[in-house]
Copies of this chain bind each other. A is one copy, B any other.
């Protein structure tokens, strides 16, 4: 499952129509918008964490590849999410665009400077790290569960994070989901068809999932 050759990210001067709703913090004013093609690398593991990133459109995954080639996805970031803020000086994971994405790139040092002066920004950065921690802890809880529970949990999480619509638009492949949940694509696929047969979801197409019985999914997600 080799990644396709990395495309060179094209730096763009802030274009005309920017997703205005994404600019909701003083931090955002310091960012430069960049475009990353599908599977393009945003940063690599062990690179110095010089920037933070905010997804404007598209989706980004962070991941690690273990010695034997297994890939573990740490998280998916959707529009509005901030990522790349690390505990140490270097990135612990690599980051790639799941699909074509617009990303706001903010210099870390500048963000830190601003945080030192503006306690609102400082609080925001703490909140981001805190959410990241919560996310990782919930991920741990997911990974000890059965395949059904993991997939149900994933769907519920995606439904919660996606804009209101009852049909989830998945940016990521079955392989991405499998690598996030510690399962195989076959198990993901089988579990989804099973949910479909039990009428908990509908699958108009592979990347569209309609939640028909959220209670059933939440119950599974014990």
Contact = CB atoms under 8 A, between A and B. Distances in A.
A182 interface: yes
A114 B143 CA distance: 38
Interface string A113-143: 0000000000000110111111011011101
Contacts of A182: 143-144
A204 interface: no
Contacts of A93: 137
Nearest to A135: B136
A72 B133 contact: no
A70 B144 contact: yes
Contacts of A132: 133
Give the bracket for the number of chain A residues in contact with chain B.
20 to 34
B144 A87 contact: no
A126 B143 CA distance: 27
Given A68-B222, A136-B136, A222-B66, A88 B130 contact: yes
A143 B133 CA distance: 17
A107 interface: no
A165 interface: no
A67 interface: yes
B141 A140 contact: no
A115 B126 CA distance: 13
A137 B136 contact: yes
Given A129-B129, A129-B130, A222-B66, A72 B136 contact: no
A128 to B, nearest CB: 10
A142 to B, nearest CB: 9
Given A87-B131, A136-B139, A143-B182, 17 more contacts: A66-B145, A74-B137, A74-B140, A86-B130, A87-B127, A87-B130, A87-B134, A88-B130, A88-B134, A92-B134, A126-B129, A129-B129, A129-B133, A133-B136, A136-B137, A143-B144, A144-B182
